[in-house]
């Protein structure tokens, strides 16, 4: 297979926070989107972060890539999510980024 065959424009993928606590607290599951592929720069920035000392930088990167169904950033200047959703959304975003290799590659 040629490498070019795997190149494609990014597409939105939905992430759902549907754990019992989220549903009980917010009345329903919560959806947001990220792209199915990102630049090497983003992955390198994430890989250079220390999860303890760089937690704000990690949150900022996650907030930058958390999108609505139209592909627009959800988090505007000065906005914050409720802390329970903030932690879950950032965690699920970062986990999804780690799993994107398996979603975008075919064996």
What's the pTM? 0.76
Residue 51: band (very low, low, confident or very high) from pLDDT cuts 50, 70, 90: low
Q: Is residue 28 part of a domain?
A: yes
DSSP for 37-90, written as a single string: ---HHHHHHHHT--TTTTHHHHHHHHHHH-B-TTS-BS--TT----HHHHHHHH
Q: Is residue 31 part of a domain?
A: yes
Tell me how far apart the alpha carbons of residues 4 and 9 are, in angstroms, rounded to a whole number.
12
Residues 6+ apart with CB under 8 A from 81: 75, 89
Domain that holds residue 74: 12-96
Q: Is residue 60 part of a domain?
A: yes
The pLDDT of residue 99 is 64
103, 36 Cβ separation under 8 angstroms: yes
What average pLDDT does the segment 47-56 reach?
72
Q: Is residue 103 part of a domain?
A: no
Q: Is residue 46 part of a domain?
A: yes
Decide if pLDDT at 22 tops 80.
Answer: yes
Task: State how many domains the chain has.
Answer: 1
Q: Is residue 70 part of a domain?
A: yes
Selected residue with higher pLDDT from 104 and 9: 9
Q: Is residue 106 part of a domain?
A: no
Tokens coding 81: 């999510």
What average pLDDT does the segment 53-67 reach?
80
Q: Is residue 2 part of a domain?
A: no
Closest CA to 73 of 35, 42, 30: 35
């Amino acid at each position: 297979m040629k490498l070019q065959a795997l190149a494609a424009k990014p597409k939105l993928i939905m992430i759902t926070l549907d754990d019992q606590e989220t549903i009980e607290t917010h009345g329903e599951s919560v959806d947001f989107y990220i792209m199915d592929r990102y630049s090497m720069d983003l992955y390198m920035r994430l890989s250079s972060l220390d999860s303890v000392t760089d937690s704000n930088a990690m949150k900022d990167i996650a907030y930058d890539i958390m999108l609505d169904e139209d592909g627009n950033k959800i988090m505007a200047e000065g906005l914050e999510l409720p802390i329970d959703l903030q932690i879950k959304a950032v965690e699920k975003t970062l986990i999804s980024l780690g799993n994107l290799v398996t979603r975008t590659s075919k064996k």
